[in-house]
Amino acid sequence: MIMNKGRLIVFSAPSGCGKGTMLAEILKDDNFYCSVSATTRAPREGEIDGVNYHFLTREQFEKNIENGRMLEYACYCDNYYGTLADEVDSKLEQGKNVILEIEVQGAMKIRELRPDAMFVFIVPPSIGELERRLRKRGTETDEIIAKRVAAAANELTYAQKYDYIIVNDALEDAVSDFRAVIKAESLKTEYAAEFLDGVMKNA
Ligand code: 5GP
């Protein structure tokens, strides 16, 4: 591994793509850190404030926007979601690969703000399978599931704006594809200048 600084990785997937399970697997590796977003959505059963999200009121969230604390934010299914700037740069400096698990509007903002970021989009094998997974999860009402399926269909239209597409059909394959992408990125010429200098000096 040639890079010293971590990579900023935007990781998007419509809800029901199994992104949570994929991330749990990826985060077993200490070199990765998943930024904890802020949201105005209510916690689901088992979710912990400060671990899954920073759960904020609308007023608190809007204050953060006013104070310039949000690197990006978006409104998704009637709630605010956003990345706290503090969550990102300190971890990158520590050499961690920082994952932003965010939806497409936020991802497009990061595309403008952070040319150093890489963009990975996770797709389900089909929209039908995505709906089945959402129903199986059993955490949302029919109305919210319908909203999320519609949001997913919309999000899929953004997939081609990402650098890499990974199909999450079998978890193991999807995680292995993700690791392959990270490996290839770490070997890009643009990160090797300093290393190559060293190679020449130590001839
Ligand atoms: P959920 O309610 O299922 O946890 O998340 C709903 C959507 O919000 C997901 O697509 C997730 O990626 C997105 N999301 C979570 N955190 C952020 C964030 O900080 N910024 C943006 N733009 N989207 C986020």
Say what the pLDDT of residue 94 is: 92
Per the prediction, the chain carries an average pLDDT of: 92
User: What's the mean pLDDT in 31-50?
Assistant: 96
Structural domain boundaries of the chain? 1-31+96-203, 36-94
Pocket test for ligand 1, best of 52, 81, 141, 154 (most atoms within 8 A of CB): 81
- Name the architecture of domain 36-94: 2-Layer Sandwich (3.30)
Say what the pLDDT of residue 83 is: 97
Say what the pLDDT of residue 133 is: 87
Tell me the β-bridge partners of 121: 12, 165
To which CATH superfamily is domain 1-31+96-203 assigned? P-loop containing nucleotide triphosphate hydrolases (3.40.50.300)
Regarding the beta carbon of 168 and ligand 1, being less than 6 Å apart is answered no
| pLDDT band for position 138 (cuts 50, 70, 90) | confident
CA of 181 to the centre of ligand 1 (A): 22
According to the 3-state scheme, what is the secondary structure of the chain? CCCCCCCEEEEECCCCCCHHHHHHHHCCCCCEEECCCEECCCCCCCCCECCCEEECCHHHHHHHHHCCCEEEEEEECCEEEEEECHHHHHHHHCCCEEEEECCHHHHHHHHHHCCCCEEEEEECCCHHHHHHHHHHHCCCCHHHHHHHHHHHHHHHCCHHHCCEEEECCCHHHHHHHHHHHHHHHHCCHHHCHHHHHHHHHCC
* Tens digit of each residue's pLDDT (9 = 90 or more) over 145-187: 999 899 899 999 999 999 999 999 999 999 999 999 999 988 8
- Flag the least confident range among 25-29, 40-44, 92-96, 192-196: 192-196
